[in-house]
Chains A and B, each alone.
Chain A
Amino acid sequence: MGEELKVIVFALGKEEYGIEVDKVRTIERLTPITRVPKTAAFIKGVINLRGVVVPVIDLRGRFNLSETQPTENSRIIVVAVNELEVGFIVDSANDVIDIDSDTIDNPPEIVGGIKAKYLRGIAKLGEGRLLIMLNLSEVLNKNEIIQLEQLEV
């Protein structure tokens, strides 16, 4: 047996993703977002999270998946990693589960169009359910944003 991990499960399209509970500060319904001009397209803007201004990024955009219109189920998951506080827009967030760290396998090169370096691994949940664990510090890597911006130009 490995460690027990508590994981928040959210969905982007048909895939299910996981983030460790201790990295998540709060999960919010979609609130009005203030656009910040001249930033990368996946940076949707900033929100007021109880008096603190928090940037929000669209995780679909971040992973180069097609962006969709927000729905009733859309949520903002606010994570805090390495002193960065960022909100992720996801299609839905609906579960907290315990997984065994031993069941996390190394990710294949590409999963659903997402590069392996953003992933920590894939957890098998049984009944054929797979959970993609995110590598948050890589997802929030700012150097890459700068490169991305240069590519877009």
Chain B
Amino acid sequence: MDMNAYLSMFIDESNDHLQSLNENLLQLEGNPEDLSIVQSIFRSAHTLKGMSATMGFEDLAALTHEMENVLDLVRNSKLKMDSFIFDTLFKGLDALEAMVQDIVGGGTGKADVTSIVASLQGILKGDYKSQAAASTAAAPSASANAGGGEASGGVLLDQFQSSILLQSMEAGHQPYYVQVSVDENCVLKAARSYMVFNLLESNGEIVKSEPSVQDLEQEKFDRTFTVFTISTLTAEQLYEQIMNISEISSVTVTPLDAETLASLTSAPAAAAVEAPVKPAAAAESATAPLANDSVKISSKPSAAPQSAPAAMNKTIRVDIDRLDTLMNLFSELLIDRVRLEQLASEIKRTELTETVEHMSRVSSDLQNIVLKLRMVPVDSVFNRFPRLVRDMAKSLNKKMELIITGADTELDRTVIDEIGDPLVHLIRNSGDHGIESVEERIASGKSETGTIHLRAFHSGNHVFIEVEEDGRGINKQKVLQIAIKNGVVTEEQARNLTEEEIQMLIFAPGFSTADKISDISGRGVGLDVVKTKITSLGGNVTVTSAEGKGTKFSVQLPLTLSIISAMLIKLGSEKYAIPLSSIVETGIIKRSGILNVHGNQMVEFRGSIIPLVSLSSVLESPDYDESQEQETEIVVIRKGDKMAAVMVEEFIGQSEIVLKTLGKYLTNVYAISGATILGDGYVALIIDPNALIK
């Protein structure tokens, strides 16, 4: 079989599963008693194992298998999670991620995982800690205990599984106990059982099977297997459909009610210690069916995440290239629309004008949708940060907590792809330099745990992302000292700096305030890279800090990099676009108003003197020279606090333009950030105002 066709699907899905494993494991760490999380972790791990085994990535499958074994014990309450297990599982996840990355990069996904596998097996055997050994020893006796009072084939449900079944009953679904026997002459028993599972899963959910799914897959069963399932079908329908699968010799479908369920449920003593509420509830339902209400209430906490799956939208995966093509085609359409509008206004026929107007409306709706298609929630970047903060806290031996708000804020795909690294830098910086050690925090009267807030929100045409922490704040004296030592500013300059300017110094190249170099940050190549990156995205980053109270980094980003508002200007026969976001205002100046300062042309603007830039000489315009004119139109542009007036020949007007690159052949063209296609089909270059201000 040609695996290449499935490889990209495999990679996509493994990444999804790894991500959900990560998230769930983190959640579990905060709430180790919640077995429903273990269930979903187990399911992700199991799917991942199956997928990688099918694709022939043996190491990947083997490691997942070991992790699954540990999770299986936890799921069946035979093992209690502790920090050693969490660390090992996280290590395993990292190794899995590395392997998947290797496969993405065209490798074979092979890796040496023996040490992780060894510690996982150590956990399994329970010899890594005497305490764990005690809890595993307790479990078998418990299940032996409950095994006595069972009639139907000795299949037992644990607390969790039974609570799912109860929950589904309340929701109006019918749980069934299904016993399936495969024909004696059947060659591919595993395949048949798989078909049964598939059928059951398409109509509901399988809660438990005996033998386990793994054993079934490996044909480790005789002829019969049993399944607890929740289904939307009636017993007869279920029976017929299973019988329709060939080589199935017999099926019995038994609907379950609360009473039989209770009698099927084991009440292990070991679990009672960990979750005292649930066994009590189950016992109640066994003795008095009337007490059903109390079962509902008490079983809810564990089953709630199950019954309310995160509102799943129906989605499809689309290649980003196709969206780009769609965007290109759409901008073609936009150009034709502008042309049509021109023609319609020339021809002046009502029918034509009306049609064109209608088309304009439809195409602006279309534009919105096309743009939205490329929007991705920032969550796709944020979701890796909880893990980052957790690891950072462990390795720095600090206590910190990450609070994410506004993860559903949407940003253009192109921006999302780029902001990941800068944000990692900012968060690491907050954790490493900002948050103090536990002792230090207690000494300064703060809570032990430092908090890092990560917020995203819309404001106007921008999205703001803030990283705020309640740590020690920026030490201005120290910043100044280092800035002077590293030659970022001179002592003389330093004296005149405002508070804000001092804080912004930490973004200067070659600046680092950490006394020791840690593996997290402190190489002095952090924040200036962040600033450069964000500026190149058309955004801005600022920092505000109060000493002893904390620091806030605020990143401002454009919503999209694909369509911007721009002012179109004329320079002789050529047309250029200037992004509206950096224009302060436009105006007209007289030649006599131009001042000469040190050989540089300056002009007075709103009470201050700003430099005057001749666009025609910067761009070597072949057929325009403003010095011939008595009055010149100017565009005042801004970069941070600095402003400049740019002389142009004529304003054409404001317009929404579609950003295009100049292609890979032309890179780093001076003062030009890209191109756009105008309504008449001509290409106009987009001026990079940042290059015009020195």
Contact = CB atoms under 8 A, between A and B. Distances in A.
Interface in A27-45: 32, 34-39, 43, 45
Interface residues of B, number: 29
Q: Which 9 A-B pairs have the closest CB atoms?
A: A34-B683, A51-B332, A37-B619, A53-B660, A38-B670, A53-B675, A51-B328, A55-B665, A55-B666
Contacts of A46: 662-663, 666, 675, 683, 685
A83 B665 CA distance: 9
B663 to A, nearest CB: 5
B620 interface: yes
A26 interface: no
B663 A86 contact: yes
B315 to A, nearest CB: 28
Contact of A48 (B622, B669, B682): B682
A118 to B, nearest CB: 16
B81 interface: no
B671 to A, nearest CB: 7
A55 B663 CA distance: 7
A142 to B, nearest CB: 7
Contact of B329 (A34, A51, A86): A51
Interface string B646-678: 000000000000001111111101111001010
Contacts of B620: 37-38
B683 A53 contact: yes
Interface string B569-590: 0000010000000000000000
B331 A51 contact: yes
Given A34-B685, A35-B574, A36-B685, A52 B660 contact: yes
A85 B665 contact: yes
A140 interface: yes
Contact of A85 (B332, B663, B667, B681): B663
A84 interface: yes
B670 A37 contact: yes
B488 interface: no
B663 A48 contact: no
A36 B672 contact: yes
Given A48-B677, A48-B683, A84-B664, A39 B669 contact: yes
Max chain B C-beta neighbours (<10 A), residue from A34, A45, A54: A34
Interface residues of A, number: 24
24 contacts: A34-B683, A34-B685, A35-B574, A35-B622, A36-B662, A37-B669, A37-B670, A38-B620, A38-B669, A39-B669, A43-B666, A45-B683, A46-B663, A46-B675, A48-B683, A51-B331, A51-B677, A53-B660, A55-B665, A83-B664, A84-B664, A84-B665, A86-B665, A142-B667
B73 interface: no
B276 to A, nearest CB: 63
Most chain B beta carbons < 10 A, residue from A38, A51, A83, A84: A51
Interface string B307-342: 000000000000000000000110110010000000
B685 A84 contact: no
A119 interface: no
B26 interface: no
Contact of B574 (A34, A50, A53, A85): A34
A32 B574 CA distance: 11
B684 interface: yes
A35 B329 CA distance: 24
B666 A52 contact: no
Contacts of A123: none
B620 to A, nearest CB: 5
Contacts of A8: none
Given A48-B681, A51-B332, A53-B677, A37 B671 contact: yes
Contacts of A36: 662, 666, 669, 672, 685
A77 interface: no
Interface in A49-77: 50-55
Contact of B675 (A34, A84, A86): A34
Contacts of A84: 663-665
Contacts of B661: 53
B321 to A, nearest CB: 13
B662 A53 contact: yes
Contacts of A140: 665
Given A35-B622, A140-B665, 9 more contacts: A36-B666, A36-B669, A36-B685, A37-B669, A38-B671, A46-B675, A47-B683, A53-B660, A53-B662
A54 to B, nearest CB: 6
A38 B615 CA distance: 13
B682 A32 contact: yes
A55 B685 CA distance: 12
A52 B677 CA distance: 9
B588 to A, nearest CB: 25
A142 B665 CA distance: 7
B679 to A, nearest CB: 11
Interface in A69-103: 83-86
A36 B665 CA distance: 12
A31 to B, nearest CB: 8
Nearest to B681: A48
A138 B574 CA distance: 32
Contacts of A45: 683
B462 to A, nearest CB: 26
B660 to A, nearest CB: 4
Interface string B538-578: 00000000000000000000000000000000000010000
Which of A46, A50, A52 lies at the interface centre, i.e. has the most chain B CB atoms within 10 A of its CB? A46
